[in-house]
């Protein structure tokens, strides 16, 4: 099978020739993997080919003016949505952490006038060519939505959760503006691709490690209607939908099935009701799975032998009947030993065949 055929067969909950493979990583481990395989530090495509990744992304570039300015005296970078970030170092690398939350106390007027990227100022001219150049792969388009995290980066997590509980007009306006812009950019990207996009990739973190972040009532009122519009748009263009959900999030999967979502991503096995056995038994054949190789488990903390055994156990559970894409639960972290990550993908190639 081609990569595209392999992924689409898997998302249809059927067995392909082998389990599809995907890759995502933080800069530190990404650089070490490229060095390990003798690749140029900028050769991302070369690394995807070496690892056997079956998906490729496409997107439209923002070409408009800079909307918000950095704050260099505080080491704060500000993107075109106005999100503030500071770099926080730790013993194996670092992360861009969110700070300031400039819309924390904003009212509707301030949010209505807050500068955000204009869909008219995106370049869609390369989309069709990109899709044609990678047409043997499953082509993905990210349109996360990301209501809780995305609003939280601007309003703070506490205020965002209060917004959802109280149906705050300012919080709702922020959600609607962000979703509306993302959806319009995605719609124009779909149109430019002329059928070349296979998967719309959504995203919403719904759980802590032990429980849901929000109630089902809030999910059905605030989140589901907004995401339904994205799912329906993907269907209109002949694409599948996959949604990224960190933490204990299987409580929402029955709704995902009703909505027409095809696959769920991340699948942190340490979280409540997220083990491979539980997911396969409860949702197998109705949802496809992408992820489940923990970035906090043996890949990061174990030996090569432990990594191999762990990945083989996951494949043993998730492979039967199809419907499983082998991938890390999130981006591979910088604390993952290079040899463990190499072994992880070798297991997928060797043991992931039907």
Q: Which residue has the tokens 């969110």?
A: 98
Question: 34-49: string of b/e by CB count within 10 Å (b at 16+)?
Answer: beeeebeeeeeeebbe
Is there a domain that residue 135 lies in? yes
List, for residues 246-261, the tens digit of each pLDDT value.
Answer: 999 999 999 999 999 9
Domain count, the chain: 1
Domain of 47, CATH number, reads: 3.20.20.210
In a domain, 14, yes or no: yes
The answer to whether 115 and 67 have CB atoms below 8 angstroms apart is yes
Q: Is residue 81 part of a domain?
A: no
Q: How many CA atoms lie within 13 A of 164 on its CB side?
A: 24
**Tokens at residue 211, please?**
């429980």
Is residue 156 domain-resident? yes
pTM over the 0.95 mark? yes
Region 208-217 average pLDDT:
97
45 in a domain, yes or no?
yes
Please report the beta strands in the chain, taking only residues with DSSP state E, as ranges in sequence order.
55-57, 61-62, 76-78, 84-90, 93-99, 122-123, 138-145, 199-203, 240-245, 263-266, 288-293, 324-328
Instruction: Look at residue 151 and tell me whether its pLDDT is greater than 90.
Output: yes
Distance (Å, whole) CA 22 – CA 19 = 10
CA 166 to chain centre: 28
Report the distance separating Cα 27 and Cα 47, nearest Å. 13
Residue 256 corresponds to which tokens in the numbers above? 């995902």
Q: What mean pLDDT do residues 308-314 have?
A: 98
List the domain range (segments joined by +) for residue 217.
3-64+103-351
Residue 304 maps to a domain? yes
Which tens digit of pLDDT belongs to each residue from 43-56?
999 999 999 999 99
Determine, yes or no, domain membership for 82: no
pLDDT value of residue 225: 98
Inside any domain, residue 287: yes
Determine the Cα–Cα distance for residues 335 and 154; give it in Å rounded to an integer: 29
């Amino acid at each position: 099978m081609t990569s595209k055929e392999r992924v689409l067969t898997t998302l249809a909950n059927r067995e392909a020739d082998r389990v599809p493979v995907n890759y995502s990583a933080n800069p530190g481990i990404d650089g070490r993997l490229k060095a390990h395989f003798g690749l140029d530090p900028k050769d991302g495509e070369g690394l995807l080919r070496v690892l056997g990744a079956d998906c490729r992304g496409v997107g439209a570039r923002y070409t408009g003016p800079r909307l918000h300015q950095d704050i260099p005296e505080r080491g704060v970078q500000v993107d075109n949505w106005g999100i503030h970030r500071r770099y926080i170092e730790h013993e194996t690398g670092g992360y861009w952490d969110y700070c300031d939350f400039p819309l924390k106390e904003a009212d509707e007027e301030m949010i209505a006038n807050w500068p955000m990227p204009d869909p008219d100022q995106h370049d869609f001219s390369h989309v069709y060519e990109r899709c044609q150049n990678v047409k043997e792969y499953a082509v993905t388009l990210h349109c996360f939505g990301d209501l809780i995290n995305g609003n939280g980066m601007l309003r703070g997590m506490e205020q965002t959760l209060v917004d959802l509980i109280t149906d705050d007009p300012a919080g709702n306006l922020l959600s609607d503006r962000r979703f509306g812009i993302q959806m319009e950019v995605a719609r124009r990207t779909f149109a430019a691709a002329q059928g070349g996009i296979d998967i719309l990739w959504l995203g919403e973190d719904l759980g802590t490690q032990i429980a849901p972040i929000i109630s089902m009532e809030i999910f059905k009122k605030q989140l589901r209607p907004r995401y339904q519009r994205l799912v329906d748009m993907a269907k209109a263009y002949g694409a599948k939908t996959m949604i990224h959900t960190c933490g204990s999030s299987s409580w929402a999967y029955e709704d995902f099935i009703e909505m027409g979502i095809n696959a769920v991503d991340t699948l942190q096995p340490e979280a409540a009701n997220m083990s491979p056995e539980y997911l396969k038994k409860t949702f197998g054949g109705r949802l496809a799975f992408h992820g489940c190789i923990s970035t906090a488990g043996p890949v990061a903390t174990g030996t090569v032998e432990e990594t191999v055994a762990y990945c083989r156990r996951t494949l043993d559970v998730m492979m039967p009947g199809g419907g499983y894409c082998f991938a890390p639960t999130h981006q591979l972290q910088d604390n993952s030993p290079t040899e463990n990550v190499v072994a992880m993908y070798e297991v997928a190639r060797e043991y992931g065949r039907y």
